Structure 1
Amino acid sequence: MRGSGEAAPAFVLPRGATGFFRPEHGPLPETGLPAFRAALYAAARAAGGTVGGVEARAYPRSFHSASVTGGAGPSVVLCHAHHPWIAFAAQLRDWYRDEFLTPPPWSQAFVHAGFAVLAAETLTAPLSEVDTSVLSPSEWRQVRAYGIDTLGGLLFNSWD
């Protein structure tokens, strides 16, 4: 039970947030590439731009990626492979720590398509502000081995 001065964690991690699969818990949920692709094209229309290359998640990455080029230039769009979370970054990488951007105004197209668009402030939150109770000992070993200390680093990774 929390004391009156303790705030609830800002983000509660569900199973599969790190992309690690535990056979005893069954398969992880999937964020389908077709849904992501459809939302990308809606976002590109809202941005008055175009969709660049779309890259499906490949092991060990925990996310799909694409780019949308609009009036303000290109934006890298990240889509978690197991939960409908969207994040934005300046460049495509295999994993992230705190290199997230503020979502552009056209990101609302993802919300309308059923995705949650994560703010840069949420993604750069320290893990101490996140409910990590669902993480297994093996996931914690990966977190420590890769020096991950932010929510975004935990969600958008390429650990193996």
Structure 2
Amino acid sequence: MDSSQVTLRLEKGVTGFRDGSDPPVPSTDPRACRVAWYAAARAAHGQVENFTEREHPQNFHSATISDREGTHIALFHAHYPLIAFVGDRRGWYTDEFQEPPAWATVLGDVGFVVLSAARLLSPLSESDTSALSAAEWRQIMRWRPETLGATLFNSWD
């Protein structure tokens, strides 16, 4: 899990945007996301309901596990190994982030960073944004996300 006291550094391309002269943004392999999600389902004693790869303009994949506690929906960032939990499936997110279930530590064990609701709901200004490109800042100024989560898990076009 992440620590809410540590400043999160947003790497270049984390919004999914880049300047034309920049190298392509990195990609999180959907297969690795699926493998991690099935490991999480085993830890939760639950069942994977689905895993949906991102569709333009989303910059995240989404997945659902059902267990005796209910339904858990995760967003897997398409460019960096970041995961957020939300209450329902949507095309975009602003402030709907939830705390991860206890079994989500398994996702961290396989290389993903599971973000807390407190971190995702924090203002973007509380993160280190020094690596973001000019193209990313143009999108941020256009879409005006109020939270870190809305910046990281977006459907901007």
> Normalized against structure 1, the TM-score is what?
0.89
Matching of residue 18 in structure 1 with residue 1 in structure 2: no
The structure having more radius of gyration, on CA atoms, is: 1
SS where residue 92 of structure 2 aligns? Answer: coil
Q: Percent identity?
A: 47
- Does 2:25 match 1:28? yes
Q: Is 1:44 aligned to 2:38, yes or no?
A: no
> Deviations 1:15-40 (Å, cap 9, x if unpaired)?
11101133322111111011000011
Residue from 67, 86, 89 that aligns with 1:89: 86
Instruction: State how far apart, in whole Å, the 2-side matches of 1:94 and 1:51 are.
Output: 20
Q: Contact 1:9–1:131 at 8 Å: present in 2 too? A: no
Q: Which residue of 2 aligns with 1:3?
A: none
Cα deviation 1:112-137 (Å, max 9, x = unaligned): 11111111111111011111222334
User: TM-score normalized by structure 2?
Assistant: 0.91
d(CA) in 1 for partners of 2:58, 2:119: 20
Instruction: Extract unaligned runs of 5+ from structure 1.
Output: 1-7
Is 1:118 the equivalent of 2:115? yes
Give me the whole-angstrom Cα distance separating, in 1, the residues matched to 2:16 and 2:84.
Answer: 16
CA distance in structure 1 between the aligned counterparts of 2:15 and 2:132, rounded to whole angstroms: 8
Pick aligned residue for 1:73 from 61, 70, 75: 70
Which position in structure 1 is the counterpart of 2:99?
102
Q: Please tell me whether the aligned partners of residues 61 and 94 of structure 1 are also in contact (alpha carbons under 8 angstroms).
A: yes
**Whose relative contact order is higher, 1 or 2, with alpha carbons under 8 Å and at least 6 apart?**
2
Provide structure 2 residue ranges, at least 5 long, that are not aligned to the other structure. none
